[in-house]
Amino acid sequence: MSELPQPTGSPAHQNVTFPSAGGTAHGYLALPPSGSGPGVIVIQEWWGLTDHIADVTDRLAAEGFVALAPDLYGGNVAHDSEEAFRMMQELPVARGVELLSGAVDHLLGLPEVTSDTVASVGFCMGGGFVLQQAAADPRVSAAVPFYGVIQGEMPDFSGLTARILGHYGEEDNSIPLENLDRLREAIEAQSGIVPDLRVYPAGHAFFNDRRPSHDAKSAEQAWTSTLAFLHERLG
């Protein structure tokens, strides 16, 4: 099998490799204190597999989940928004979904994973991929996009089986509230599933405690509801 693109910039958090998309992918895996639990995929922001994403993965593991953050950038981490935008643009949506499918294969194949399905939690670019992945893969039973930016056309939700809990900021200029209305309508019309899309008095990336846009109160509310949702859906 071929190797995926190798790092050229700052190192990402990686501690596991697995087959994906015809090559070898990397990621960050965190196990719960009990050693086993339901599986959750964590999908990076446009910055890459950063300290923040590794921390979220660890936090999910501390709550009883086996959490895997696949590295969609092959080890690269962006230094600024211009570089992040370029790296995001260089990752075709179909390619990202293919890589995520391999991550689901790997996660469900681990003996430590007790669930038959997985949840998917993602941020910004990763939030968009949460929706793309859930639309394409029935093994995703819970989808949690944080301020998810859908690149290109909206996915076909006709095969969606996952329940959706979304978190968005009313002051987020990159995702106008009318876009959420269109997203909600599309999901319900095509799948019959009514997504729970929640709006907070915050801006983009309000959950990222390493960014100036962090909003502690909104982040805590979103996190608490996410954990309850994941436990309900995955057991």
13, 71, 106, 124: the catalytic one is: 124
With vertex at residue 205, the alpha carbon angle to CA 199 and CA 208, rounded to the nearest 5 degrees, is 120
Q: Around Cβ 60, how many Cβ atoms within 10 Å?
A: 26
13, 106, 204, 215: the catalytic one is: 204
Catalytic annotation present for 172: yes
Catalytic annotation present for 137: no
Render the burial of 159-169: b for 16+ CB within 10 Å, e for the rest. Answer: ebebbbbbbbb
- Residue 42 dihedral angles phi and psi, to the nearest 5°: -115, 125
State the Rg of the chain over Cα: 16
Cα–Cα distance for residue pair 43/48, rounded to 1 Å:
9
13, 26, 52, 172: the catalytic one is: 172
Catalytic annotation present for 26: no
Cα dihedral value 39, 105, 27, 16, nearest 10: 100
| Catalytic annotation, residues | 124, 172, 204
